[in-house]
């Protein structure tokens, strides 16, 4: 991994979002519950390409939201890609594979085609679009890009772009919809891109040692992302942390065990901050101290849960530390319920 670039829409303070929009959106008996959820979300600031302080999209049709998705996602993704390429010292025309992850919008031609055109990638560049994997999509995307680099000996770029702000839901007329309140308190917009190159071309950098996954299909209904006439509707069961608790230690143990490593030999943890409880579960099940997840909590506080780009934001924070970690485990979670892990190791030696 030789380059990483991030692009963010305008940022807003969480308290201002609450006072300026959500306090009125969840009026009546919903308000007290919603206020507590917002206050305990772990989010201080977050970004929105379509800010509810400026536009209330909760009544928009899915068609209108998808048109706006393309208008906002193309420039945001372009900025992230340009920054990643500059960080890697690579031209867009040198890419052999361009992979895009996004679950918050649909367009054909897609972001992969439009951005390849706008950024002057080769007409022969191979493209891969990963959709509807949600918050963990960056890791299977990273695995596919890494496999391409190893197999073909050519550079690849992975872009994760999400605009969750487009999927604000109506408050409804029944009782409090806790799952929607939680998602509206946590989710945010971002784009992040990573460049992977053959080891002989551009090092030092992080080597992708392995990507691993486990899916518990008995809990498939615990996390959903449904297409409705009013955008995409999130379903988040309160049982998600307990499912992660049952699987995360075994996944990490098997991932590290194949490289004869222990948890204590990992000095960097990039854990997708799906919420404060998610991070608490990972910390407790892996026996980590609070410092190990400081970068993940910092990203949650500063950016919110941006879905697929989020784990890459944590990785970016780790690599910018005064003493970047040598070994990093990335963990992300999403529909399935699915847990994904990746092992990265810093290397200065070309193959």
Output the pLDDT for position 30. Answer: 80
Phi/psi of residue 246, nearest 5 degrees:
-75, -20
Calculate Rg over the CA atoms of the chain.
Answer: 19
> What does CATH list as the number for 3-196?
3.40.47.10
Q: How far apart are CA 324 and CA 316, in angstroms?
A: 10
What is the CATH T-level fold of the domain 205-347, as seen in this structure? Peroxisomal Thiolase; Chain A, domain 1 (3.40.47)
Residues of the chain within CATH 3.40.47.10 domain(s) are 3-196, 205-347
Output the pLDDT for position 349. Answer: 57
Output the pLDDT for position 174. Answer: 45
pLDDT in tens, the chain (351 residues): 999 999 999 999 999 999 999 999 998 878 999 999 999 999 999 999 999 999 999 999 999 999 999 999 999 999 999 999 999 999 999 999 999 999 999 989 999 999 999 999 999 999 999 999 999 999 999 999 999 999 999 999 999 999 999 999 998 744 458 889 999 999 999 999 999 999 765 557 899 999 999 999 999 999 999 999 999 999 988 999 999 999 999 999 999 999 999 999 999 999 999 999 999 999 999 999 999 999 999 999 999 999 999 999 999 999 999 999 999 999 999 999 999 999 999 987 544
Contacts of 114 (CB under 8 A, 6+ apart): 70, 74, 107
Output the pLDDT for position 171. Answer: 85
Output the pLDDT for position 27. Answer: 84
Output the pLDDT for position 78. Answer: 98
Do residues 183 and 165 lie in contact, with contact meaning Cβ atoms separated by under 8 Å?
no
Q: How far apart are CA 25 and CA 106, in angstroms?
A: 27
Output the pLDDT for position 351. Answer: 45
Of 279, 281, 285, 295, the closest CA to residue 263 belongs to: 285
Do residues 138 and 311 lie in contact, with contact meaning Cβ atoms separated by under 8 Å?
yes
Output the pLDDT for position 145. Answer: 98
Assign 3-class secondary structure to the chain. Answer: CCEEEEECCCEEEHHHHHHHHHHHHCCCCHHHHHHHHHHCCCCCEEECCCCCCCCCCCCCCHHHHHHHHHHHHHHHHHHHHHHHHHHHCCCHHHCCEEEEECCCCCCCCCHHHHHHHHCCCCCCCEEEEECCCHHHCHHHHHHHHHHHHHHHCCCEEEEEEEEHHHHCCCCCCCCCCHHHHHHHHHECEEEEEEEECCCCCCCCEEEEEEEEEEECHHHHHHEEEEEECCEEEEEECCCHHHHHHHHHHHHHHHHHHCCCCCHHHCCEEEECCCCHHHHHHHHHHHCCCHHHHHHHHHHHHHHCECCCCHHHHHHHHHHCCCCCCCEEEEEEEECCCEEEEEEEEEECCCC
Residues marked active site are found at 135
Distances from the Cα of 272 to the Cαs of 25, 109, 118, 313, 330, in angstroms?
28, 30, 30, 9, 8
Output the pLDDT for position 201. Answer: 52
Do residues 30 and 176 lie in contact, with contact meaning Cβ atoms separated by under 8 Å?
yes
- The residue ranges of DSSP E strands in 239-351, in sequence order, are 268-271, 327-334, 338-347
């Amino acid at each position: 991994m030789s380059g990483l670039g991030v692009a963010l829409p305008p940022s807003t303070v969480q308290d201002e979002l609450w006072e300026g929009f959500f306090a009125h959106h969840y009026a009546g008996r919903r308000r007290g519950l919603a206020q507590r959820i917002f206050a305990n979300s772990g989010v201080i600031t977050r970004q929105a390409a379509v800010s509810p302080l400026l536009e209330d999209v909760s009544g928009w049709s899915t068609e209108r939201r998808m048109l706006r998705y393309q208008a906002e996602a193309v420039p945001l993704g372009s900025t992230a890609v340009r920054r990643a390429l500059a960080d890697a010292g690579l031209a867009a025309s040198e890419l052999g594979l361009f992979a895009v992850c996004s679950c918050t919008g649909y367009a054909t031609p897609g972001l992969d085609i439009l951005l390849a055109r706008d950024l002057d990638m080769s007409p022969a560049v191979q493209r891969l679009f990963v959709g509807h994997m949600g918050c963990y999509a960056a890791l299977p995307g990273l695995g596919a890009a890494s496999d391409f680099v190893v197999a073909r000996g050519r550079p690849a770029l992975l872009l994760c772009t999400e605009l969750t702000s487009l999927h604000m839901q109506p408050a409804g007329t029944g009782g409090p919809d806790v799952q929607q309140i939680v998602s509206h308190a946590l989710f945010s917009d971002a784009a992040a891109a990573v460049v992977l190159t053959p080891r002989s071309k551009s090092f030092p950098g992080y080597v992708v040692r392995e990507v691993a996954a486990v899916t518990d299909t008995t809990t498939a209904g615990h996390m959903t992302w449904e297409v409705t006439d009013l955008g995409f509707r999130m379903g988040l069961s309160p049982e998600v942390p307990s499912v992660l608790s049952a699987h995360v230690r075994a996944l990490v143990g098997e991932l590290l065990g194949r490289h004869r490593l222990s948890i204590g030999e990992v000095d960097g943890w990039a854990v997708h901050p799906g919420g404060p409880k998610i991070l608490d579960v990972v910390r407790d099940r892996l026996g980590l101290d609070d410092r190990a997840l400081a970068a993940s909590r910092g990203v949650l506080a500063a950016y919110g849960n941006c879905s697929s780009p989020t784990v890459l934001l944590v990785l970016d924070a780790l690599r910018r530390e005064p003493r970047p970690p040598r070994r990093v485990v990335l963990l992300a979670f999403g529909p399935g319920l699915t847990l994904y892990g990746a092992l990265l190791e810093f290397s200065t030696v070309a193959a």
